């Protein structure tokens, strides 16, 4: 996926799937009574994570639509920092997976 629009749409889909994964209770069957937070409600931290991620996916889709109409993609980044950041951001699925795993482990250890 070389187009910024396609990468942005893929990132929006990944964020949407991540929102769906937060749309259930944090009910681990073998530790459900050992103080796991959100054991019977949706995960939230000052606001519902599902709602925040759904709103973020809509914002990212709007950015993708903007990239579709205003195509200013001038190739790969020219700086070393930009190239390194581009390599990291090219895999939003891996980033989302690490965020989900970190959130689950943190919810088990902090509870």
pTM, 2 dp: 0.68
> Domain span at residue 26?
4-110
What average pLDDT does this structure show over 39-46?
A: 65
Average the pLDDT over 93-105 and give the result: 81
Is the model more confident about 58 or about 20?
58
Q: Quote the number of domains for the chain.
A: 1
Asked if pLDDT for residue 76 goes beyond 60, the answer is no
CA atoms of 78 and 87, how far apart (whole Å): 13
% pLDDT > 70, the chain: 60
In the structure, what pLDDT confidence band is assigned to residue 74 with cuts at 50, 70 and 90? low
So what's the pLDDT on residue 54? Answer: 92
């Amino acid at each position: 996926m070389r187009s910024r629009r396609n990468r942005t749409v893929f990132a929006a889909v990944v964020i949407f799937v991540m929102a769906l994964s937060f749309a259930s209770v944090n009910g681990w069957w073998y530790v459900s009574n050992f103080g796991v937070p959100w054991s019977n409600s949706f995960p939230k931290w000052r606001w519902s994570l599902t709602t925040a991620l759904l709103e973020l996916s809509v914002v990212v889709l709007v950015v993708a639509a903007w990239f579709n109409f205003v195509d200013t993609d001038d190739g790969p980044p020219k700086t070393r920092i930009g190239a390194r950041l581009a390599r990291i951001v090219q895999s939003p699925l891996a980033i989302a997976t690490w965020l989900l795993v970190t959130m689950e482990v943190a919810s088990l250890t902090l509870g």
